[in-house]
Chains A and B, each alone.
Chain A
Amino acid sequence: MARYRAASLATLRIVPTDALTLIYHRASGITHIVDAPVPEILEALAEPLSADALLAKLAAQYDLLDADALALAVRLDELAAAGLVERL
């Protein structure tokens, strides 16, 4: 099963604002404007995890109301395309 790993936190500059979070990714020079739970996903993926393990971790830590595996898979694909997460 594919595992995912987030860009190292040292390469990210994370600035929370009103509703959204601004993220500058030093390795790519790209700015990302993200909503919850993206910052939480990035933090949880400091170590490589499978999608299922990630879902379990998020559910435990953040009390996710909609622990939806499909929605998470879509988010992970987007984050991989953006380069914030690498599929290992």
Chain B
Amino acid sequence: MNPAWLLARTLRDPASAGKLGPGEWTALFAVARAEQMIGTLAMRIQGLPMPEDARRVVRDAIASAEQGRTAALWEAEMARRALGDIPFVLLKGTAFAAAGLEAGRGRSIGDLDILVARDLIEEAETRLLAAGWEWVKPDPYDDQYYRRWMHELPPLIHRERDRMIDVHHTILPLTARITPDPRAILDAAWPLANGLRHPSPNDMLCHAAAHLFADGDLAGGMRNLWDVRCLVEQFGTEGLEARAEHHGLAGEMTRAIRLVQALYGPEPLAGSAGGWGDRLYLRRLTARDGWGRPTRKLTRLAFYIRSHWLRMPPAMLVRHLWTKWRKAHSPG
């Protein structure tokens, strides 16, 4: 079995880990690390019978995820203190962790992503800068690029804690064809007891779908689809279709649900999923070898170009790539 499919199967059906041989365990852990899902996997299989060596990896992965969760929630708390009365909504991993959702169990969390109303974004920036956050890159081209075309401030990093914050005012770049409604996400957000807020479940699902198909080159896709799977399990899909329609993400949402079925559903479709489009996506999502290394270079490249295409109209894409090449940056 392809090791990425092995990961998907073990997440879906943890008891199946009981039958794994040493080589399969090794590949499973390598791919789970590469997909940044080792904590999620560890939470799913902890307590099941397994070899001693595997138990140690699982124990350490859980401890690591716990520490990541503490650090992420602390960043959210410090952002709350810095932003004062500016309303904001936590996005992605930090939102799942803060709300104690199934999707957050063991999940690795990178930067702090928050959503702020567009007319308050400058004030948010000012307050964060006053509270110890700084610009990551002083590069004027990148800066202009972010401010003009992306859906966020240029990333800020905290000078003491060395953690990044991405302040978004919408969930997709302004250059993308699809323009979700950030105001609606802010208005429908759910409050938590500690003063933080997270998007409603349907908005979190829409964001996951947007992130998967429109905003990225499918990197981290297995984790993204796991988020979708957990959110759907926990909250169901009532009103989801209408919400996705409202954000202009109906097609993306439908495909995400189909791919979740294929990867993590009760009857996975491995080789025979839906149409050609779904099969190509699945090939890209599961392109890993037993060392966790990326495989299927051609499939990946196609998705990389496609990802940039979606985010920027073609003329702008050329300009962007040209500027990057001249600076000898390699893509990705």
Contacts and interface: CB of A to CB of B under 8 A. Distances in A.
Q: In which size bucket is the chain A interface?
A: 10 to 19
B67 interface: yes
B132 A28 contact: no
A26 B71 CA distance: 10
A28 B81 contact: no
Interface string B263-298: 000000000000000000000000000000000000
B132 A27 contact: no
A73 B274 CA distance: 65
A86 interface: yes
A30 to B, nearest CB: 8
A28 to B, nearest CB: 4
Nearest to B132: A81
Contacts of B132: 81
Interface string A55-86: 00000000000000000000000001111001
Interface string A1-42: 000000000000000000000000011111000000000000
Interface string B56-86: 0000000000010011011001100100000
A29 B74 contact: yes
A27 B78 contact: no
A80 B131 CA distance: 10
A29 B71 contact: yes
Nearest to B84: A87
A29 B78 CA distance: 13
Nearest to A87: B81
A5 B67 CA distance: 25
B139 interface: no
A30 B160 CA distance: 11
Given A81-B132, A81-B160, A27 B77 contact: yes
A27 B160 contact: no
Contact of A83 (B67, B70, B74): B74
Interface in B67-113: 67, 70-71, 73-74, 77-78, 81
A84 to B, nearest CB: 12
Interface of A: 26-30, 80-83, 86-87
16 contacts: A27-B70, A27-B74, A28-B70, A28-B74, A29-B67, A29-B70, A29-B71, A29-B74, A30-B74, A30-B161, A80-B81, A83-B74, A83-B77, A83-B78, A83-B81, A86-B81
